[in-house]
């Protein structure tokens, strides 16, 4: 940082010197005198440039360590908010009404006299301008929200009520017919009603949200703990590296079962949908209780003959620049199962998004899944949740193979980036390796240069213009 401050000071002082001598060369009436140069230079050197560099460093490092992970949870409530409408209020559906007039000023100055006696007489005149109030069509509007354990989603903003003419704000002003059957404008959204019905039946759906977090390991350019494999390109060219799933759809649903190769892709569309439904439920329970995020990759063991090499390659691919900062996160659990016939697990491997921790759980995945039937219920089960007391969620875990492992004696533990007690020293030491990139350093110096331009500009124009001696 000190070197960057040094370069920043050189740039701003150099700009001041250049401006000073340029004005002299142009024989300008403006100048930067010695006193102004010393004061502005001192402020820039001691205060402005160091502060800009420090702030630039902080922003640059924060940008480098910020990545995205999945947060998982459950629906807890479907809320309808009724807003009372009034004239000139925050109504969504309104029309111009009740005209009124305001006096609008305008300049009507004029000149009098002529020649040397000509002078400007300043005058402000007023004209009447017609304006309108804004009246709502209905006496109330409805906003629909879905609340979950990880956030809130707005389904509709200030919809007109169902049968809106029954809610006319003025009896003689009907609601335009084009809005009556448009769910974007009127009534209860079907998506919200589905959530309400599920919650009333005690069967909330799992939810997923992409959230930012700090990852010092992936941000570090020099640490040996980053995953790397020379075989990634070979697997990618063979079509055996599935892209990491980030596409949240239908507000908060995300698919995290990947099918790679003929033997692993022989499931029907309905079976694949069932796999995805079950892993969403699994992750809802996992996120709610253990703050994890499971990704299950089913591969053709006839094609993938080296499970350990494939596991390392896939993990390296998912944390590589190919996915920018959207790839496999620190709370992730990767389970890979190989099958030769599409019916049985021939081998299994597992990893997490951190380079250490959960070793016993990963070994148990490798040993316990081998030989099991390749069925969604057998591997993932069907975790559910119960909502009580408004927002209290109780997760109900079954006895499927991966459930017993993840919530068993070797249960998953989220490894923290920051220190958390003597048994969890964290990875903050990796921050010492980080510094702004070349482009970020360039922007820091550029901002320092702009601050210098402002300072020297003030010196040039703030004082009373003084002619050089040669013009006196």
Q: pLDDT digit string (tens) for 67-95?
A: 999 999 999 999 999 999 999 999 999 99
Number of H helices, E strands in the chain: 13, 14
Average confidence (pLDDT) per 10 residues, the chain, 472 residues = 83 85 77 80 86 87 89 95 96 96 94 86 94 97 96 95 95 93 93 95 95 85 60 92 95 96 91 96 95 96 94 93 91 96 95 90 96 96 88 90 96 81 66 80 88 85 52 38
State how far the alpha carbon of 234 is from the alpha carbons of 224, 243, 309, in Å. 23, 15, 12
pTM confidence score? 0.83
Phi/psi at 87 (5° precision): -65, 135
239 forms beta bridges with: none
> What is the chain's alpha carbon radius of gyration, rounded to the nearest angstrom?
33
Tokens 């050089």 -> residue: 468
Model pLDDT for residues 172-184, shown as the tens digit of each residue: 999 999 998 898 9
Task: Supply the pLDDT for residue 177.
Answer: 92
- Domain residue ranges in the chain: 2-66+435-471, 222-433
Task: Supply the pLDDT for residue 464.
Answer: 52
d(CA 352, CA 412): 9
d(CA 272, CA 281): 14
- Which strand (E) or helix (H) includes residue 284? helix 269-290
Residues 296 and 276: beta-carbon distance below 8 Å: no
Angle CA 338–339–340, to nearest 5: 130
Task: Supply the pLDDT for residue 151.
Answer: 93
Phi/psi at 174 (5° precision): -80, 160
d(CA 139, CA 94): 11
Beta strands in 367-409 (DSSP E): 384-388, 392-396
């Amino acid at each position: 940082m000190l070197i960057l401050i040094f370069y920043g000071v050189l740039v701003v002082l150099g700009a001041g010197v250049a401006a000073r001598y340029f004005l002299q060369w142009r024989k300008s009436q403006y100048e930067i005198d010695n006193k102004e140069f010393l004061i502005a230079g001192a402020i820039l050197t001691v205060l402005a440039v160091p502060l800009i560099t420090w702030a630039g460093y902080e922003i640059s490092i924060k940008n480098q360590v910020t990545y995205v992970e999945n947060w998982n949870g459950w629906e807890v409530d479907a809320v309808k908010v009724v807003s009372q409408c009034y004239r000139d209020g925050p109504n969504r559906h309104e029309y111009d009404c009740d005209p009124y007039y305001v006096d609008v000023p305008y300049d009507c100055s004029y000149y009098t006299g002529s020649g040397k006696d000509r002078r400007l007489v300043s005058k402000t005149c007023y004209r009447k301008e017609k304006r309108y109030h804004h009246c709502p069509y209905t006496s109330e509007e409805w906003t629909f929200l879905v609340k979950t354990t990880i956030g809130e989603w707005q389904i509709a903003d200030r919809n007109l009520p169902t049968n809106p003419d029954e809610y006319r704000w003025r009896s003689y002003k009907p609601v335009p017919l084009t809005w009556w059957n448009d769910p974007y404008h009127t009534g209860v959204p079907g998506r919200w009603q589905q959530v309400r019905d599920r919650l009333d039946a005690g069967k909330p759906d799992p939810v997923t949200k992409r959230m930012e977090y700090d990852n010092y390991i992936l941000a570090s350019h020099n640490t040996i703990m980053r995953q790397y494999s020379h075989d990634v390109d070979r697997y990618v060219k063979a079509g055996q590296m599935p892209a990491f799933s980030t596409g949240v759809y239908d507000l908060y649903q995300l698919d995290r079962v990947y099918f790679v190769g003929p033997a692993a892709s022989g499931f029907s569309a309905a079976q694949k949908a069932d796999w995805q439904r079950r892993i969403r439920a699994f992750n809802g329970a996992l996120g709610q209780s253990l703050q994890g995020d499971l990704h299950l990759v089913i591969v053709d063991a006839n094609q993938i003959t080296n499970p350990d090499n494939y596991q390392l390659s896939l993990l390296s691919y998912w944390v590589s620049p190919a996915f920018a900062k959207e790839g496999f996160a620190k709370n992730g659990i990767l389970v890979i199962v190989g099958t030769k016939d599409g019916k049985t697990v021939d081998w299994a491997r597992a990893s997490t998004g951190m380079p250490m921790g959960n070793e016993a759980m990963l070994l148990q995945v490798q040993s316990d899944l081998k030989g099991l039937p390749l069925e969604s219920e057998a591997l993932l089960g069907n975790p559910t949740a119960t909502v009580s007391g408004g927002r209290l969620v109780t997760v109900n875990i079954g006895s499927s193979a991966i459930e017993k492992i993840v919530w068993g004696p070797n249960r998953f533990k989220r490894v923290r980036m920051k220190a958390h007690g003597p048994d969890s020293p964290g990875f903050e030491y990796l921050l010492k390796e980080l510094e702004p990139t070349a482009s970020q350093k360039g922007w820091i110096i550029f901002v320092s240069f702009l601050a210098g331009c402002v300072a020297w500009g003030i010196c040039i124009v703030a004082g009373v213009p003084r002619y050089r001696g040669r013009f006196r």
